[in-house]
Amino acid sequence: MATRISDLKPTTESASDTPEAPVRLAHADSFDALLATIADRPKRVSNRKQDRSKRTAQQIMNAALRVFARDGISRPKIADIAAEAGVPTSTLYDYYKSKEELASEVPLSYLAAFFSKYRDAVAGVTDARERILLYMSMSADFARENAEWARLFYLEIWPSVFVNDTEELRHSIDDFARVLVLLIRQGMDEGAWSAMRDPYETAAILIGGLNQVIITWILYRRPRNLTKAGTAIVERILNLLAEELRVEQSARNAPRRR
Amino acid sequence: MATRISDLKPTTESASDTPEAPVRLAHADSFDALLATIADRPKRVSNRKQDRSKRTAQQIMNAALRVFARDGISRPKIADIAAEAGVPTSTLYDYYKSKEELASEVPLSYLAAFFSKYRDAVAGVTDARERILLYMSMSADFARENAEWARLFYLEIWPSVFVNDTEELRHSIDDFARVLVLLIRQGMDEGAWSAMRDPYETAAILIGGLNQVIITWILYRRPRNLTKAGTAIVERILNLLAEELRVEQSARNAPRRR
DNA sequence: GGACAAGTCCGATAAAAACTCGGATTGCGT
DNA sequence: ACGCAATCCGAGTTTTTATCGGACTTGTCC
């Protein structure tokens, strides 16, 4: 008999790990803790029993990525994706209960890969500035390496109301910002930039600026070298922030300045 | 007999006004010219003959906005929108040939309203910095005033692959960035910030940062006062940029600084 | 290494949604 | 107030999504 996705009960929000609990330890420790939480979050890759099935699942995911990247999420029919994957439509329903679910599964698996990659790369780095620079350069580079995924993720998924419907994907995207805010707080403690500013506002400038560059690259393949341009804009912003601190300090020493 | 949207020929890209021609006059003049071009662009509001029909079209647009803002673009059925508008489904097809077209018409009409509003407000302002501040504060304020539209526009439409399919909407969104880049160039000429930086990069920081704030507000209604927060982040970035120029200048005067 | 149970695949078919048609009705100029 | 074009809308048709259940595979236990 068929094992349909829709037969499974909605996995009642694994209550064991605390998904929302705001990590509020010393920033140094909580950074590792946060990364660990995030890297483990999306673990249900495929609970299929047979190898054959895992291959099919992969085929479908790859096909979906290609099709979504080419035509967006709403236009392609389920049948198109099934055809691209080389399986009958009904088989696709054995794996994913709807197009929406399929469209959120793909980004999730890549996002998990990114976080785990960053976790490895950041291992020896302790400086907040360096950590941020690495984080964001790697984001840009990851988008360049996985251009089809990037197109799907940056243009269709993030930001989209649709995100609100997919608990798990929503968390993962929030995590992205959460890491950055944490690092900005760390930098405040270290005196790398002003501690008087709203860290969320600072995060908005960093994420917003970089995303804008990534999105422009996705749409127009300009600037040519995304990795370089991404690193450049982040460095520029970080320098601006460092300068902002310097000005604040000298203003405090010589109040009647200007 | 029915007059169906699908009967009309695809209006072959009015060749009269040059939509792509990059305006390259002195920045001062081209600003007015650009705004004029933009404000006139989306003029095919409704070529219906009867008043009754214009009312119906408005009803449908309003209903679509409410429904899209609530449930996104892909999930609602055409029938839902028709029901919300209080007309039979088939009538909706007399006005818009598909859900996609409907979903692009709504943002267009609002965007046109914004540009025209800005055009009036900026009339007396000549300073690049002030023009940008006004432009972006008004963007934030416009989003706050038209929260349903903003949800649709920022979360679903911009950026979306879907934009690429709708020539007209695509232009309007490009225009938004084009105005900003022009103003940044003007500011370079005026010595308000560094002329050595890529204006597109600078624009990315401004637009990206502000959009990030707007999107956060749409999703979480935080910060509470969007207008204030939007103005604040733009002012902060503009100050950062002014400081950047100062540092560059003093570095040139005393090269061995640091 | 064979048999049997669970797991996977897929053609046929039902259900839902998108879209069309053409006549009935209404608005508007004369 | 008449006539004709413009608009409206109920009743279909076509396209797309989703389900069902049996045929076929795979892994495993003896």
Candidate from A132-146, A160-174, B104-118 with smallest mean pLDDT: A160-174
A240 with B236: Cβ contact below 8 A: no
Q: Which residue has the tokens 């909407």?
A: B169
Q: A245: which 2 tokens?
A: 């601190």
Domain ranges of chain A: 25-41+101-253
Q: Which residue numbers of B have CB closer than 8 Å to A's CBs?
A: 71-74, 100, 151, 154-156, 159-162, 164, 197, 200-201, 203-205, 207-213, 215-216, 219, 229, 232-233, 236-237, 239-241, 243-244, 247
B7 touches strand C (CB under 7 A): no
What is the number of other CB atoms lying within 10 angstroms of the CB of residue B222? 12
pLDDT in tens, B70-106: 998 889 999 999 999 999 999 999 999 999 889 888 8
Backbone angle region of B13, left / alpha / beta, with phi > 0 → left and psi within -120 to 50 → alpha: left
Decide if pLDDT at B254 tops 90: no
Q: Which residue has the tokens 């084009």?
A: B178
pLDDT in tens, A153-168: 998 888 777 766 777 8
Query: Searching chain A, which residue's CA lies closest to the CA of residue B238?
Result: A240
Decide if pLDDT at B9 tops 50: no
Q: Specify the pLDDT at position A40.
A: 77
The span from the CA of A93 to the CA of B96, in Å, is: 32
B6 touches strand D (CB under 7 A): no
Please give the CATH superfamily to which domain A25-41+101-253 belongs: Tetracycline Repressor, domain 2 (1.10.357.10)
* Residues 6 or more apart in contact with residue B232 via CB below 8 angstroms: A201
Distances (CA, A) of B52 to A25, A156, B56, B59, B129: 64, 37, 6, 11, 46
Q: Quick one: CATH architecture of B26-42+104-252? A: Orthogonal Bundle (1.10)
Q: A47: which 2 tokens?
A: 């609970």
Specify burial of residue B8 (Cβ count, 10 A radius: 0-12, 13-18, 19+).
exposed
